[in-house]
A and B are shown apart, each in its own frame.
Chain A
Amino acid sequence: MKVRIDKAALMVPLYRAQGAADERSNQSNANVTACVHIEAEDDRLILSATDYEVTVNAEVSADVIEPGSALVSAKALFQVVRALPDGATILLTADENHRMRIEAGKGYFHLNGLPPYEFPPQNLDSAAGRVLVTDKVHVESMLRHTLFSVSTDDRRPAISGILLEVEPEGEGQVRLRMVSTDGLRLSKVERLVPAPDFDGNKTSCIIHRRGAAELQRLIEGSDPALRIEFIGRNLVFSSDRTRLQVRQVEANFPDYTRVVPDKSDIAVTLPRDALSTAIRRVAMLGVKGRDDHIQPLKLDIEAGRVSLEMSFPSYGDAHEEVEIDSWEGAAMKFLFNPKHLLDVCSVLTSDNITLELRDQFSPCLLHSDEEPASQFVIMPMRQ
C-alpha cells in the first residue's frame, strides 16, 4: 500500500474511526479492536474501526499510488497525524511486515501493525433493512438534548443508551423520539420530520452512549443528509461518506411515560441565562470533586423572586437571587442536584425555562416555550 493524502483530508475519517476503536486497549496494538484498518483502492481510502459494538467505515479521496491495506493502532496513528504540521502532504506506506510508514516533509514515523486480514469482516445485508433519510439538523438537536443524561453505569444496560423511537405519522412524516435517563433524571425529545421513503412500522431501539457519541461526531460533517437503516439487531447511520454501524442494546428501556409528569399548577418561569449564572455561582464551592457527596441546591420560590442557596459543611455557604414576574402561589422550597438543573439550562437555547413542580417527592418537569417538544424531568433531592 502506498498513498498520498493531505493531513486535513486524512484527519476527518481518522478522527471518526479512532472514536470507534476500543479506548480501553488504547496503548496496545495487539488487539484488533484498538486498531484502524486502512484500505486503499482506486482513488480512495476506507478507514474502519470496530469494538464489535460500534463500527465505523469512513471513506476519503486520496492519491492511491499502490493499492493495499494496513492495520495499525488507531490512537497512535491519530496522534502522529495530528502532530504533523498543518497543510502537510502525508505519504503512507505499508510493508510486508505490516509496518506502516508515515512521512511528511523531513520527518517519518513507523508504526508496527497487524496482518490486515485479522480485522473482522463486516457483512451486513443492507437490502433487508428499513430506511429513513432525514436532515441531520433534527438528529443533531435531539442528541444534544438527550446524550447528557444517559447513564454511564454499564451494569444497567437498559439505560446505558438513548432510546430511539420512530413512529409513522402519515403524509410522509415520521415522529422521531429520543429518551435518555440515568435513573435520577430523564430527557425526552420529539421531532416530526418528513420521511417520504420510510415504509416501516413503529420501531424502537436503544443506542448505547458510545454509539450515540459516535453519531454526534458523524453529523459534525458537512453533508446535510443522514440515512438511518434498521438492519436486524443493528442500526446503520450514513452521512458524509461515512458509515456508522451500532449494535442495539438488548434490554427493555424503562417505561418513561410513567415518570414524565403532567402539567402542574405550580409553574415558575425563569430567565435561562440568569438562572444558569446564579447556579454556577452558588455551586462554585462544591465543584472539582472536593466532596463527592452532592450538596443540594435550595430553591426558595416566592413572589417576585427565586432565591438560590447552597451550603458546604467545610467551606461556607453561597446565596443568589433571580427575579421572576409570575408567581401567584404560596412560597415553596425545593432541593435539587445543581448539576441536573444546570445541564438542562446548558442544552436549551431559549430565553426562558419553566419549572413545573408538584412537591418535593414528585418529579419536576422542565421545558421551554420555544422548544416545546423537549421535556426534561429531574427528581428533587430529599433531606
Chain B
Amino acid sequence: MSETALRTILHADMDAFYAAVEQRDRPELRGKPLLIAFDGPRSVVTTASYEARPFGVGSAMPLALAKRKCPQAIVVAPRFAQYQAVSAQIFEIFGSFSPLVEGLSLDEAFIDLTGTDGLWGSPARAAQLLKDRVWQEVGLRVSVGVAACKFVAKVASDLRKPDALVLVPPEETVAFLAPLPVSRLWGVGEKSLPKLHALGLRTMGDVAAADRAWLVRNLGSHGPFLQDLALGNDDRPVVPGREAKSIGSEQTLMTDVRGRDALWPHLIEAADTIAFRLRREQLRAGGVRVKLKTADFQLLTRQARIAPPTSSARVLLELAAELLPQFDLRLPYRLVGLAAWDLRSADEAVQPDLFTDPARQRDERLDKALDAVRDRFGHAAVRRASHKQD
C-alpha cells in the first residue's frame, strides 16, 4: 500500500447524461421532467431527468410505471449515436488531465491524477477545472469525487449529485465513510443488506470497527473485503482504455416469451447488428455473451470464448446457440440481448481453426456483401432469410 496510498483518484459521473444531452440540444425540454425511453408498452426508462426524479422515477424502471408516477413527464426516444459523440468529446477532456482514464460507460470514468499537481495544482483545483471545462466546452454538468482510491472517489461523486464536487483528503477517508449506510459499499445488494443489518452493521463505521475474525465467521471472505472498503483500503489501479469493453444489442420484448424458438429471431437480429458494428469499427470479438431478463426482472447471463476472434454474425450465432440451453428456457423472458466482448483490432493476426467449416469463410464474404448494401440503403435494407417467419 505504501506506493498506492498517495494516489489521487478522480471519479467523474455525468448528471442524468442522456436527459441532459436532450435538454441541451432541445431548449424547450429544459426544466421539464423527462424520461428517456423508447415509447412502448414494455420498455424501460434509461434515464430520468432531475426534474422527474422527485416523483420517484429512476432508470431501469418500466416506462408504464414511471408514467403513472409522473404523468406530466415527456418521453423522449434515446439517440445513442448522439450520446456516443458527446461522450467522445467528454473523454477527450478527461484525457487531457491524465493519460490514465478508465471509462466505465459512456458517461462515467475514473481518472488517476497522481503526480499531476505541477500541471493542474491541487486536486481540488484540478477537479474544479475539469468541471468547468466540461460545462464550457460541452455544456453539461458532471459530478466529481476525489479521493485516494477508486471506491471512495466513486462514493464521493455520488453523494451530493447533481453538479457536485466532493473532495476526501486521505486522512479524512475513514471519518468520511463512517456515517454512510452499508448499502453504499461495493458488492452489497438486496441479498446481503438484510444480513448485514441483522448483524447490527448499519453504517460503514460499524463495519470498519468490527472485529475482523468475527466478520470472517459471519460473512466469510466477503467480510474482510467489506471492511477494507469501509476503511478506504482499495488499491485497484485505474486501467486505461476500457471504454469499448463490449458491443451489445438487446431488446425488451412486447410480451414475455418462452422457449428457444421465440428467443431465436431476436438473437439473429442482435448478431447481425453486432457483427455489422464490429466490422464497421474494424474489430473482432473474442467472446460472446447471451443475456436474458426474466419476467420478474432477474438478469441472467452466460458467456463463452470464440476462437478465432470473429466479426461474423454466423459465428456469434453459433456460440449463442450453444449458450442458450444453459438457461432455463421454460421461464418467461422479457428481454433478450447478445453482446460481443474481448474486442480486438481486426488487423491483429488470428489463429484459424484446422477443421474450420469452409462455410464460415463463405459467410465472411456474405457478411461483407450485406454490409455494402446496408451502407447504401440503411440497416433494414437486408435481412437473413431466416427472419422471414416474423
B-contacting residues of A (Cβ < 8 Å)? 155, 181, 183-186, 254, 258-259, 293-296, 335, 337, 361, 363, 377, 379-383
Contacts and interface: CB of A to CB of B under 8 A. Distances in A.
Contacts of B355: 181, 183, 254, 258-259
Given A155-B322, A293-B344, A381 B351 contact: yes
Given A155-B322, A183-B307, A293 B353 contact: no
Contacts of A335: 349
B352 A379 contact: yes
15 contacts: A181-B354, A184-B352, A184-B353, A186-B354, A259-B354, A259-B355, A293-B348, A294-B351, A296-B349, A335-B349, A379-B351, A379-B352, A381-B350, A382-B349, A382-B352
Contacts of A155: 304, 322
B341 to A, nearest CB: 13
Contact of B354 (A295, A296, A363): A363
Nearest to A340: B351
Nearest to A337: B351
Contacts of B353: 183-184, 379
Interface of B: 286, 304, 307, 322, 344, 347-355
A183 B322 contact: no
B349 A295 contact: yes
Given A155-B322, A293-B344, A184 B351 contact: yes
Given A254-B355, A293-B344, A381-B349, 20 more contacts: A155-B322, A181-B354, A181-B355, A183-B354, A184-B307, A184-B353, A258-B355, A259-B355, A293-B286, A295-B349, A335-B349, A361-B352, A379-B351, A379-B354, A381-B350, A381-B351, A382-B350, A382-B351, A382-B352, A383-B349
A363 B351 CA distance: 11
Contacts, number: 46
A296 to B, nearest CB: 4
A44 to B, nearest CB: 44
Contact of A184 (B322, B344, B347, B354): B354
A201 to B, nearest CB: 27
A51 B65 CA distance: 53
Most buried by B among A293, A296, A335: A293
A268 to B, nearest CB: 21
A184 B230 CA distance: 48
Contacts of A183: 307, 353-355
A327 B211 CA distance: 73
Contacts of A254: 355
Contacts of A379: 351-354
Nearest to A259: B354
Contacts of B347: 383
Contacts of A296: 349
A47 B344 CA distance: 50
Return the 3 tightest CB-CB contacts between A and B, nearest first.
Answer: A296-B349, A381-B349, A259-B354
Contacts of B351: 184, 294, 337, 379, 381-382
A361 B350 CA distance: 12
A254 to B, nearest CB: 5
Contacts of B349: 294-296, 335, 381-383
Contacts of A382: 349-352
A258 B353 CA distance: 13
A379 B353 CA distance: 7
Nearest to B350: A382
A383 B286 CA distance: 16
Nearest to A260: B354
